[in-house]
Chain A
Amino acid sequence: MMAKRSLVSIVDDDESVRESLPDLLRQFGFAAEAFSSAEAFLTSDVVSETSCLLLDIAMPGMSGPDLQQELRRRRQEIPIVFITANGDETIRPRLLAQGAVECLFKPFSETALLDALSAALRTT
């Protein structure tokens, strides 16, 4: 066990994701915080502590890629794993090219999630 558990933040407008993912992440041994929008995350006090961001793509208001850009603008280099319910896999290469660690399509397995989180945490 790590002295301080890494914080994984979740930004998703879907409530069931915000309900279920934190519990699973905690089972993995991470600390977890869920936010219903990009704006809510940006105004929280966990931005600089976040080790990895699980980020939904399509959200009302600021979208996932929008938040990615904003963080880059703020020089907050947080590894990002996109999670999307959109079945269009063609967006994945584009997101990776733009600096995402991974793009997971809902529903995803816990293995896929763990792999993505590991990759993300390695980048730091």
Chain B
Amino acid sequence: MDATRESSTEEVTRLRDGLNDLVRLMTLPGLWMGGEPPHTVTTLLDALLGIATDLDQRVAQQTSELVFASEALRESERNSRLVVDSIPGLVALLTPDGDVQFVNRQILEYTGRTLDELRKWGTSDTVHPEDLPHVVQVFTQSIASGTPYEIVQRLRRSDGVYRWFQNNGFPLRDTSGDVVRWCVLLTDVDERKRAEDALRESERESRLIVDSIPALVATLTAQGDVDVVNNRMLEYFGKPQEEVKQWGTNDIVHPEDLPRVAQIFRQMIPSGDPHEFEVRVRRFDGVYRWFQLRGRALHDNTGGIARWYVLLTDIDDRKRAEAELREAYNGFADAQRLSKTGSFITDLVGDDHNWSEEAYRIFEFDSATKVTVQRVRDVIHPDDLPAFESVIARGMTGVNVDFAFRIVTGRGAVKHVRGVAHVVERVAGRPMFVGALQDVTDSKSAEEALNRARSELARVSRVTTLSALTASIAHEVNQPLSGIITNASTCLRMLDGNPPNVDGARETARRTIRDGHRAADVIARLRALFTKKELTLESVDLNEATREVMALSLSDLQRNRVVLQSELADDLPNITGDRIQLQQVILNLLRNASDAMTGVPDRPRQLLVRTERENGNRVRLTVRDAGVGLGGQDMDKLFDAFYTTKSDGMGIGLSISRSIVERHHGRLWAEPNDGPGATFCFSVPCAAEVPSA
């Protein structure tokens, strides 16, 4: 266009100059007669000059128009450039074939490359090598088909760092629809891309965490529909998510629980309040297990419910343990009921009492009411009040107590109650008691039977140990008889002397009388013991025999406030012997131990019975008391018949016991304790051959 315009201007100028030359020629002096051109010529010349002037003017105007137009054009181009250069993106223009024709300043600055270098992007590292094949493929396809494209790719920055760009290319077409150019826009999306990647990674990790939680996790919509569930939930149910969403109408929730759960959901979803309940849900194998379900709403910033989080924790094992505990407790309660034994935990100082059902039942208190010391005091039999007060007073000082008293219940029934309470711990300096109390009213007859059995045992024992007695009886009687005869002989000889020794004779006669009385005493003491004579040999479980004796002795021991403790060996072999006789020995040792502690007010009256296996195929029974102990001078005489430290004793127990044990080829001995009290032991061989009596 410019070239055309310029050439026409030159032609006009040349035409005008030609006209001017023609006018100058036509007006040259001498050409025309009279020196002046004829009028017609002049007129023509004037017309030509007019044309030339007009041409000049036109040229001038055209020129000025041209200048103006070209300036406008330059301005426009500058503006376009400015626009393209100021777009916050990288812009390129391509030919219809896809060759880079123009790039904006940003591209040059970003890549640090020249236009020529950029033209070879397909073979350089401008595009990230990992992205290049994809970019080339999409690009080539798009150019060929004339359709726009969009690629997210990395583009090399001048410092060598690749950043992510969104690459949009679209064709520009002329009115006939042909592609005249491609416009390419590259937008830096690096930060967004990285944020998206980080988010994706974070989501992946969250998912991983949610799937790793040993619980079933689901999110619900604000309306309560299942939205997302974790893999564990799918694995547990063994159903696809679609079925999990239908939990309200399928077998996921236990049919017995479904109405309740549905009810809770109907209330929970609109409320937005956290809920927690237990429900059985079906495992993939059809087994329903107990879960704890916890639902919590996530609120948006307007306070509305955005979604629900639901956590299901498997508590089946715990429920089972609870059930077992409950069963055990019920069994325990049954045992309490059957044995009429109530238990209690008591903070006596704080007057705070926790009684078992049976304890309430014994006292005929309403189990919904609170027990106080005063309430108990109110039902104590008036005669037993002093004993009760003394137990309470001792308990207040924090020592173990045992008690036996009568109560008069609300309906006037009198009951015998017996029990013990032991300090188990101290809370804030106050003793906490754990104890048991038993209604022994009905067991009176049983106790009487027990007493009968006990006296029977004692009688049988006396009978069957008669032969064992004989030796010591003979010994006891023969001693004074020997004295009598010796003295009488001496007396006679003194009287026969010449002269007779009357004083000596009188002395020996006196001794004779004294020894005679001694013999008579022995006989008198023994009279009641002689009846009949039996002996039974059998295989004896010493533990069992000991347990029987302990059971028989228990009430005596308790009456004497003796705490009986037993350590019976598990591996004890049976012994061959006379069960009743051996039990007589054990009974004797227990009674002696108990009696030895009668006068002990200041320390626990502890009695330990132990059985154990000894080397050499023997068993040993030990009875250890905390009583008065063995006086040193008594040691030699302990096992003598008729030796006793007791005012009411015969003094034959240990003697008989020793002879019984010796008849079992065993030994019975005593030793002092390190502390207070004494220990009596007997040791017998397991396979003793007991001689028949």
Show the binding face of A for B, using Cβ within 8 Å: 14, 16-17, 19-21, 23-24, 27, 58, 60-61, 83, 85-88, 105-110
Contact = CB atoms under 8 A, between A and B. Distances in A.
Given A85-B479, A105-B478, 18 more contacts: A14-B479, A16-B480, A16-B515, A17-B479, A17-B486, A19-B483, A23-B487, A24-B493, A27-B490, A27-B493, A27-B494, A60-B640, A83-B482, A85-B482, A106-B482, A107-B483, A108-B482, A110-B485
Contacts, number: 80
Nearest to B477: A85
Q: Which of A58, A106, A109 has the most CB of B within 10 A?
A: A106
Interface stretch (B135-143, B194-202, B310-318, B467-475): B467-475
B20 interface: no
Contact of A20 (B474, B493, B511, B636): B511
Contacts of B220: none
Interface in B14-53: none
Contacts of A23: 487, 490, 504, 508
A14 B637 CA distance: 12
B691 to A, nearest CB: 11
Contacts of A85: 474-476, 478-479, 482
13 contacts: A16-B514, A16-B518, A17-B479, A17-B483, A20-B508, A21-B486, A23-B508, A24-B493, A83-B482, A87-B471, A106-B478, A108-B482, A109-B489
B571 to A, nearest CB: 36
Contacts of B636: 60-61
B481 interface: yes
A14 to B, nearest CB: 5
A27 B481 CA distance: 20
A61 B478 CA distance: 21
Interface in B512-528: 514-515, 518
Closest 3 A-B residue pairs measured CB to CB?
Answer: A60-B636, A16-B483, A106-B482
Interface residues of B, number: 28
B486 A24 contact: yes
A91 B368 CA distance: 77
A67 B183 CA distance: 136
Given A24-B490, A60-B637, A106 B481 contact: yes
Nearest to B475: A85
A16 B511 contact: yes
Q: Which of B471, B490, B511, B637 has the most CB of A within 10 A?
A: B490
Contacts of A83: 482
A20 B481 contact: no
B359 interface: no
Contact of B485 (A19, A27, A87, A109): A109
A108 B485 contact: yes
B484 interface: yes
Contacts of A14: 479, 482-483
A88 B482 CA distance: 16
B104 to A, nearest CB: 129
Nearest to B472: A86
A110 B491 CA distance: 12
A109 B486 CA distance: 8
Contacts of B485: 107-110
Contacts of A87: 470-471, 474-475, 478
Interface in B426-482: 470-471, 474-476, 478-482
A20 B483 contact: yes
A17 B511 CA distance: 11
Interface in B378-410: none
B518 to A, nearest CB: 7
Contacts of B482: 14, 16-17, 20, 83, 85, 106-108
Contacts of B511: 16, 19-20
A6 to B, nearest CB: 18
B481 A86 contact: no
A98 to B, nearest CB: 20
A84 to B, nearest CB: 8
A107 B478 contact: yes
Contacts of A58: 475
Nearest to A109: B485
Interface string B485-505: 111011001100000000010
A109 B646 CA distance: 36
B483 to A, nearest CB: 3
Nearest to A14: B479
A36 B474 CA distance: 21
Contacts of B481: 106-107
Nearest to A58: B475
B693 to A, nearest CB: 13
Given A23-B490, A23-B504, A27-B494, A86 B471 contact: yes
Contacts of A17: 479, 482-483, 486
Contacts of B487: 20, 23-24
Contact of A110 (B484, B489, B518, B637): B489
Contacts of B480: 16
Q: Which of B478, B484, B489 has the most CB of A within 10 A?
A: B489
Contacts of A88: 471
Interface string B147-166: 00000000000000000000
Nearest to A87: B474
Contacts of A109: 485, 489
A122 B487 CA distance: 26
A18 B428 CA distance: 70
Q: Which of B476, B515, B518 has the most CB of A within 10 A?
A: B515
Contacts of B518: 16
Q: Which of A23, A61, A109 has the most CB of B within 10 A?
A: A23
A58 B472 CA distance: 11
Contacts of B489: 24, 27, 109-110
B269 to A, nearest CB: 95
Contacts of B514: 16
B494 to A, nearest CB: 7
A16 B471 contact: no
B260 to A, nearest CB: 85
Contacts of A106: 478-479, 481-482
A21 B487 CA distance: 8
A106 B636 CA distance: 22
B490 A20 contact: yes
Contact of B484 (A21, A24, A27, A107): A107
B572 to A, nearest CB: 32
A64 to B, nearest CB: 14
Contacts of A16: 479-480, 482-483, 511, 514-515, 518
Q: Which of A24, A86, A109 has the most CB of B within 10 A?
A: A24
Contacts of B476: 85
A1 to B, nearest CB: 15
A96 to B, nearest CB: 20
Nearest to B480: A16
B505 to A, nearest CB: 10
Nearest to B494: A27
A58 B636 CA distance: 11
Contacts of B471: 86-88
B258 to A, nearest CB: 89
Contacts of B484: 107
A23 B470 CA distance: 30
